[in-house]
Amino acid sequence: MAATQPSAQYEDPGATTITSKKNGKVITLKVPNKIIGPDGQAVIPRNKWEGNDVNHDGRQDLGRLVPGTYEFHFATGERRLKFGYEHLRGNTQQVVQRDVNHDGYFTAADVWHTPSGDTVIEVGDFAILFHRGGDDNTWSGGCQTMPAPVFAKFLSKLNRSQSSYYYVLVTLR
C-alpha cells in the first residue's frame, strides 16, 4: 500500500473577498474557498499550502510525478534533520503534473500555456520525496508515501551501501 497523489488538505483554497458594512465602516475580509473532496465532503485545509504557482494565478498548485524513471538517495545531514525523519530525496530532475484548476483531479484541463501559446511542462528539482505517511492519511502534498510500518520495511530492504536508487513509476488502467 502506497500513495503517489497529493492530499487535498494541502490544497491552496484561494480566497473570496467579502465586503460588508459594520457600524458605518466598510470591512473587507478574505475568506478561504471551500475545498470539496471526491467523496463530496468538505476538506479542512492545513493552512500550509503545498506546490508551485505555475500558472501565476496566486495559488499554489498541488503536483504529482508523471510516469517515468527517477533517481533517489537517502537524505543525510541537515536536509534529513530539517525534514525530521529518514526519507529519500531526488537526485535528478522530476517531471511534475500540476492541478492548476484546483478541482482535485489531474486531467487534460490542467495543461497550461505561456502567453505565446506554448505548452508548459514543469521539469526541475521539486523535492518530491519518498517519506512515511500515516495509517489513514498520506501526509503528503505530492510525495511518494507509505504507512509508517510499510515504509520502515521498504527502507530495510534497500542496500545502504548504494549511493542511489532508481524508481520507475507507471500508470496501470
116-134 pLDDT, tens per residue?
666 666 777 767 889 998 8
Residue 1 lies in a domain: no
User: Can you tell me the distance from the alpha carbon of 91 to that of 37, in angstroms, rounded to the nearest whole number?
Assistant: 33
**pLDDT tier for residue 88 given thresholds of 50, 70 and 90:** very high
Residue 2 lies in a domain: no
- Confidence (pLDDT) at 96: 86
Range of the domain at 128: 8-169
Domain count, the chain: 1
Q: What is the mean pLDDT of the chain?
A: 80
Distance separating the N- and C-terminal Cα atoms of the chain: 17
Residue 87 lies in a domain: yes
Give the highest mean pLDDT range of 71-85, 108-122, 129-143.
129-143
Residue 3 lies in a domain: no
Residue 101 lies in a domain: yes
Residue 23 lies in a domain: yes
25-49 pLDDT, tens per residue?
777 666 666 777 667 777 776 667 7
User: Can you tell me the distance from the alpha carbon of 62 to that of 142, in angstroms, rounded to the nearest whole number?
Assistant: 7
* 8 Å CB contact between 144 and 130: yes
**pLDDT tier for residue 7 given thresholds of 50, 70 and 90:** confident
